[in-house]
Structure 1
Amino acid sequence: MRARLAVVVGLVVLLLGACPAVAQDAPRLSSLAAAARDVAPGTRACFSGSKPGDTRLRPCHYGRRGPRLLLIGDSHLRALSPAFRRLAEEGMVRVTLLIRSRCGWSSREIESPKRWVRDDCQAWRANVARYVARQRGVAAVVVNHRASTMPGTRAQRGPDTVRAWRPALRRRIPVIAVSDSANWVLTRPSPLECLRDNREPRQWRNCADRTANVMWFDWTAPSVSLARERYGARAAHRISMRSTYCPSGLCRVVTPHGQVMFRDRQHLTATYTRSLAPFFERRLRRIGVLPS
C-alpha cells in the first residue's frame, strides 16, 4: 500500500513539475504596453533635434575594449543601437553614438514643413563631418537611417549619401550601411494596434505584411556600390536586414517566440534589437572589423 501511494505521489509531483515547463516553452506575446515604451535606454542624452538651434553633437560612449565604431544616424539608428551597445558591454567593441531626430547622414536636405528642422539638420551634419575628420583609431562607421524623409529621385540617393561619407572614406575608414526596418506609416492598422486584436500565436501572421508594402526603397545598395566604385572595394559594406525582418518576403511585427518587434509604426523595440547582437557580431567578423 505504501509503495503504491509513493508511486501515485511521485507521478503527481512529476506532472506538476512538468506543467510550468510546457507553459514556459509555449510562444507568448510580450507586453504591448511595455513595447510602446521600449526606447533604447541611456540614449536620451545623445538624442537631439527636439527644439530649434540645438545642433551640437552629444556623443554617447559605450565599451572600453575592442575596435572603435562610430554609429551615425537618426531615430532609426537610435532604435537599432542596443544591439551594438550589447556588443560593447560584452567587451567586443567600443561604440560612439551620434544620433539626431529626422536627420540621417546624407548631404540631401530632409523633407519637413519646419524650416528650422531642415536647417538644423544640415548644421548638425556639418558638425558630424568635422567630428569624424578629427577622430583617431576608428575601425568603421556604421550608418542607418530612414530614407523616406529625404526628397529627390532614387538615383540621387547614392551620390548624396556618399558625399556625406567623404570625411570617413578619404581617410580609409570603412562605412558599414545597415538597411532599414519595415515602415508601417502607410498601412492600417499599426503593429501594436493589430496585435491587440491578434494576441494568439496563430493570429500573429495576420499582422505581417508583404515586403513590397512596408519596405519601399533600400538606399544602402546604391550608396555602397558608388562608394566602392570611387574609393575601392573595401571602402564600404552593406548589411541587409531584409531576410532578418522579413523572412520569405513577409515582414513580421512579432518574433516566433512572441517578442514584439515594433514600438510604433516605424521604430523597433530596444528589447528586440538587443537580441540582434549575435547577428551583427557575425557580420562584423565577416567584414573584418572583428577578428574571424
Structure 2
Amino acid sequence: MRLPVTPEGSARSAFRGDIEGLRALAVVMVLVGHAGRDLVPGGFAGVDVFFVISGFLITGLLVAELERTGRISLAGFYARRAKRLLPAAAVVLVASLLLTWLLLPRTRWADTAWDVVASAAYGLNWRLAVQATDYWTADAAPSIVQHFWSLGVEEQFYLGWPLLLLGLAVLGGRRRLRRGALMAGFALVALPSFAWSVHASQADPGPAYFVTTTRLWELALGGAVAIAGTRLHRLPRPLAAALAWAGLATVAASAFLVDPDRAFPGYQALLPTVGTAAVIAGAQAAGRFGPSGALGWRPIRAVGALSYSLYLWHWPLLVAAEARFGELGTRAALGVVALSAVPAALTYRFVENPIRMSAALRWEPAAALRIGALCTGVAVAAGLLFQLTVWPPRQAPPTPVALPAIGGPTPTATTTPGGPPGATVLGREPLGNRAGAAVDRVASIVPDPSVAKKDGPEQWAHPCGAGQQGDQAFPCKYGDPFGATTVALAGDSHANQWLPALKLVAEAEGWRLLSYTRSACPFISIEVAWQERPEPGCRDWNRAVQKQLVEVEKPDLLLVSNTFYRPYGVDRDDVDEADKGMAEGLRATWRAVTAVDTTVVVLRDTPYLERNAPECVAANPRKLTRCATDRESALDAGGGPAHEAAAAGQRGVHLVDLNDAICPVDPCAAVIGGVLIYRDANHLTATYVASLAPRLRDRLVALLD
C-alpha cells in the first residue's frame, strides 16, 4: 500500500507545500483571532486545522514505516517527536516564567508556576478542564501558557497512536497492511470521540473544549485521509480541484462562521476539520488546478515553517503586554502578535532547526530522547522552583470585630482593635464620605493581595459543608445552638460572603444561625442556567432547602442573596427578559417562606468591579485608582436590580442595602480603611465583610423588634 507520505528522514521524504500553507493559514487564524476577536471570531478553530494535519502526517509516517519494515520503532518515533517539539517548548515555558516575574501581578505567580509544570508534563489541557468547572476560577485571568493545552492533546495522541497502529497491524497481518482494518480501527476511535464531543460540548462546554477525548476524532480524521491517500490520488483532476478549493474555502470561512459563544468543538468543529481534510485529500491530485500553488507560495510556506514557534510565542507576549499596559486595543494586540515573529524566528533558527536537523541525533534515538527528557525536566524544575518566589507572605489571622452595644456610639476605627478599620472609617452616614474615595496609595493593605482569594468565609468560621441527603438539607450551624432567635442564610456564594459578619452578629446577640449555601446555586424556585446549562443538583438542592425552611426550621429571619442568573430557556442576549424572569422566580420563592411567618431579608447584591481587585492592586500599588469602577455600572451589574424589583411591595420581604458602605463615593474603590474590599471582581473579602457587621446588626435587630 503506497502512502502519500514517505518514511521520515528518508531520501525520498515528500514535502507537501500545500500542508505548509495550511499551517500558515491555521496559525494566522489563531494569532489574529487572539489579537482581535471582533475581526476573526472563530480564529481559535485554527487549532483544529493543526489537529487534522498532525493526524495525517503522523499516521502516514508510521504506516509508511510499517509498510517498509514491518514494524514501528517506538524509540525512533518518540525521539523524532522529542527533538522536534520539546526544546522550543522548554525555551518558551522558561521565558514565560520570566515574563510572569517581570510583568504579571504577584497574585498570578503561583498558578502560572503550576501551569508551567502541567504544560511540561503534557497535561495542561486536563488541568484547564478541571478549572473550567471550578466556580472560583470561572472569571480568572487566562494563564500565560494557556495555549499549551493543544500541545498537550497532540502529545497525548503521539504517545498512544503508534500503539494503536501496531495493534491494528497485528490484527491485519503486519507484513501485509490491510487498509480496511486500519480504517475500521480509526472509526472505532473517531466515531465515539465525535459523539462524545457533540454531547459534552452541549452538556459541559467548559471541560469539553480542553479534554483529549473530544478532540481525538479530529486527529483520527487526518489519519483516515492518510490511509485513503492512494485512492484519493486517482480522483479525476476536476473533482480533486473542486474538492480542494471547497475545503480551503471552508477552512477560511470557519474563521468567521464558527461562533465562540456556542458549544465547541461539537458540530461546529466539522467546518475547519472537514475543510482541512478536503484540502489534503484533493490538492495533490488536482495538480496545478488546485490550491497547492497558492498554499505553496514561498512567503506563505515561510509562515508555515515558523508556525510552531509563532504559536508558542504569541500568547505569552499578548498576556504580558496586557499585564503591563492594560487591555490592548485590536491594533496594539496585532502589533504584539507581529512582534512575536522576532523571538519565533530566533527560536526556529537557533533552537528548532539545529536540534531537529542534527545528523548525530538522527542516528542516535537514545540521545534525542535524553535531550527531550532534559527539556521536560528543565521546564518542570523551573516551574517548581518558581514556587519559591511566591511563598505567601506571613499574615496575622484576622482580628475579631468588637461590636458596640446596641444604641452605642457610631462605628469608628476603634471597632476593630489591632486591625485596619475597613468600613468603620465611614462613620454612621457612609454615602459621600471621602474616607471611602479611591486614592492612588495607602500605607498598608489587609489582606495582602497575593492571598486575598483565600480570605473568604471559611477563614472566619469552622470548616463546614452544608449537605443534602435525599430531600433533606443539613445546614452549617453557628452562634448559640439554644438561642431563642433563629436566623438562616440561603443562596449562592454571594450570600455566603456575608457569613463572617453574620457569625459575629449571631455570637453577639445569642442567635442560632443556620447557613444553607451552595456556589453557583441561588435560592430560587425556577431553573437557572450556569455556563449555558441547567444544573439538576441546584434544582434538587433548592427543593430540599425550601422544604427544610418551610416545614422544619421556620426561622425568625431568612437572609437571602445571590448574583445574577439567567432563567434557563431565556435568550442570553435578552437582558430585560432575564431580569424579569429572575425577579418573578425570587418573588415566588420568598412568598413560600413568608407564608409560614418568616421574615425575609434580601441582602442586595454587592457592586461589581471591572477588574480583578487583588490582581489590579498588586499590579498598581502606586496607582490604585486604576482599580476603581464607576458606581453606576458597578451597582447595575449582578443580581442587585432583580433584588430591588422582586422585593418591591412584597409583604414580609425587606431589602437591606449596605452598598453605601462598600462604594460610598464614585468611582468605587478597591481599598477602604486599609482593607482590600474584594477577593476577585465581585466577592467581598471576609475581612471587609466583618467590618460591616455593626451596620448589618443594626438593620437586622430593627427588623426583629
Equivalence for 2:591: 166
Quick one: structure 1 residues 263 and 68, their matched pair in 2 at CA, closer, same or farther if it must change by over 3 Å? same
Among 61, 65, 72, the residue aligned to 2:490: 72
Among 209, 214, 220, the residue aligned to 2:634: 214
The DSSP-based 3-state class of the residue aligned with 1:138 is coil
The DSSP-based 3-state class of the residue aligned with 2:654 is strand
Quick one: structure 1 residues 207 and 157, their matched pair in 2 at CA, closer, same or farther if it must change by over 3 Å? same
Bigger helix share: 2
Equivalence for 1:278: 694
Among 84, 89, 92, the residue aligned to 2:507: 89
Quick one: structure 1 residues 44 and 218, their matched pair in 2 at CA, closer, same or farther if it must change by over 3 Å? farther
Quick one: structure 1 residues 251 and 198, their matched pair in 2 at CA, closer, same or farther if it must change by over 3 Å? same
The DSSP-based 3-state class of the residue aligned with 1:98 is strand
Equivalence for 2:674: 258
Deviations along 1:127-154, whole A, 9 cap, x unmatched? 0111012234621110011124546522
> 5 Å matches for 1:192-271?
192-200=614-622, 203-216=623-636, 217-228=640-651, 235-255=652-672, 257-271=673-687
Q: Distance in 2 between matches of 1:251 and 1:286?
A: 28
The DSSP-based 3-state class of the residue aligned with 1:248 is coil
- Aligned AA for 1:110? V
Among 173, 178, 183, the residue aligned to 2:603: 178
Equivalence for 1:133: 550
Q: Distance in 2 between matches of 1:215 and 1:123?
A: 31
Q: Distance in 2 between matches of 1:215 and 1:48?
A: 32
Q: Distance in 1 between matches of 2:692 and 2:508?
A: 14
Question: How does the TM-score come out when normalised to structure 1?
Answer: 0.76
Checking the alignment, whether the CA contact within 8 Å between 1:46 and 1:97 is kept in structure 2 is no
Q: Distance in 2 between matches of 1:180 and 1:74?
A: 11
In the alignment of these two chains, the number of paired residues is: 250
Quick one: structure 1 residues 281 and 254, their matched pair in 2 at CA, closer, same or farther if it must change by over 3 Å? same
Equivalence for 2:436: none
Checking the alignment, whether the CA contact within 8 Å between 1:133 and 1:167 is kept in structure 2 is yes
Q: Distance in 1 between matches of 2:602 and 2:526?
A: 17
Equivalence for 1:120: 537
Bigger strand share: 1
1 or 2 for the larger relative contact order (CA 8 Å, sep ≥6)?
A: 1
Quick one: structure 1 residues 137 and 105, their matched pair in 2 at CA, closer, same or farther if it must change by over 3 Å? closer
Equivalence for 1:191: 613
- Aligned AA for 1:107? S
- Return 5+ residue gaps in structure 2 as ranges: 1-419, 422-441, 571-576
Checking the alignment, whether the CA contact within 8 Å between 2:466 and 2:476 is kept in structure 1 is no
Quick one: structure 1 residues 63 and 211, their matched pair in 2 at CA, closer, same or farther if it must change by over 3 Å? same
Checking the alignment, whether the CA contact within 8 Å between 2:457 and 2:496 is kept in structure 1 is yes
Q: Distance in 1 between matches of 2:543 and 2:554?
A: 21
Shift of 1:80: 1.4
- Aligned AA for 2:683? H
- Aligned AA for 1:206? R
Shift of 1:250: 2.5
1:59 aligns with 2:475: yes
- Aligned AA for 1:156? G
Between the two proteins, what is the percent identity of the paired residues? 22
Runs ≥4 residues deviating over 6 A: none
Q: Distance in 2 between matches of 1:209 and 1:55?
A: 42
Q: RMSD between aligned alpha carbons?
A: 2.7
Checking the alignment, whether the CA contact within 8 Å between 1:82 and 1:273 is kept in structure 2 is yes
The DSSP-based 3-state class of the residue aligned with 1:126 is helix
Q: Distance in 2 between matches of 1:36 and 1:97?
A: 21
Quick one: structure 1 residues 279 and 150, their matched pair in 2 at CA, closer, same or farther if it must change by over 3 Å? farther
Q: Distance in 1 between matches of 2:642 and 2:613?
A: 24
Q: Distance in 2 between matches of 1:269 and 1:56?
A: 31
